Structure 1
């Protein structure tokens, strides 16, 4: 009997079908969409215990993640980045402020702009969420290999419109 670990489990359960040379056909694209949605569902389950303990949901986690990565984002930046409505984003921001995870303040340059920054508690929670996500992604990466990870990143970047990628680059320079 052999000892089984996460990488072995990944190899055993992995679909042994390579992408078809006709990978742009509807059936192949739909297979990719189905795998992406299923993978996302299982990836996000890794953070559910942390979210429950903090009394927040996945939308809160997404906003907190953006704010920790780019402190000082404005509410307008967040709306553009996430595609979330102003009303929905405001509700999530209010919840995060009430739980002491972010602060929303008037902008340093333009007082009309509301800037969002994580608190120490928000950074700590985001760190625990990132740890859980990183462990899950790391298991998948180790089973897939470097070339597959690079290809995966290329596909994900292709899903992000050029304008949003430019905004991310601009935000990274703040």
Structure 2
């Protein structure tokens, strides 16, 4: 029996985790996140960008025309922090900010061709890593992983996540 199947067979034992098992899960998440962000970090460094730029580009791509206020809600960052990130993305020709047609105070964000190309490069690196991990883990593990991630979200984050799922 392989390690994943063995862990799955012990699944009911995981309902009552010890502090040591939880610590291992926390550490696994830290190292997995480091791996998940490593390739995009290398790409972003070439532009002098960081993870905040990546998140902004990702969610602008995910919802073209999203407003600055909506992006603030999704990212959970301060207006000052987002403005700094958007300013550099706009100045570098990766994002366009368009005045709203119904409300002139709103700014709607769109990726330019160059921004879309960067987003594809960043997301393909992460998709390749996730595709390989999901393939190796199997469908039951993937479903369980998604369930665990969603259960870790607070109610507001889960609502934002579900709203994004509906736009797929």
TM-score (norm 1): 0.81
- 2:27 paired residue among 25, 31, 34: 34
Structure 1 residue runs of 4 or more that deviate by more than 6 Å after TM superposition? none
Match of 1:71 in 2: 64
Unmatched 5+ stretches in structure 1: 1-10
Deviation larger for 82-91 or 42-51? 42-51
Q: Which has the higher helix share?
A: 2
For residues 14-163 of structure 1, the aligned pairs below 5 Å read 20-163=13-156
Query: Residue deviations 1:125-168, cap 9 Å, x none?
Result: 10011111111111211221110011111111122233333334
Whole-angstrom distance in 1 between the partners of 2:106 and 2:161: 19
Single out whichever of 153-162 and 22-31 deviates more from structure 2: 22-31
The alignment partner of 1:103 has SS state of: strand
Flag structure 2 segments of 5+ consecutive residues without an equivalent.
none
* Deviation string, structure 1 residues 54-97 (Cα, Å, up to 9, x no partner): 33111101110000001111111111111111111110010111
Q: Distance in 2 between matches of 1:136 and 1:75?
A: 30
**Deviation at 1:170?**
3.9
RMSD in angstroms over aligned alpha carbons? 2.4
TM-score calculated relative to the size of structure 2: 0.84
Structure 2 CA distance for partners of 1:110 and 1:23, relative to 1, 3 Å:
farther
Structure with more contact order per residue of length (Cα contacts < 8 Å, sep ≥ 6): 1
Farther-moved stretch of structure 1 (118-127 vs 74-83): 74-83
Q: How many residues align?
A: 162
- Rate the CA distance shift 1:146–1:99 in 2: closer, same or farther, 3 A: same
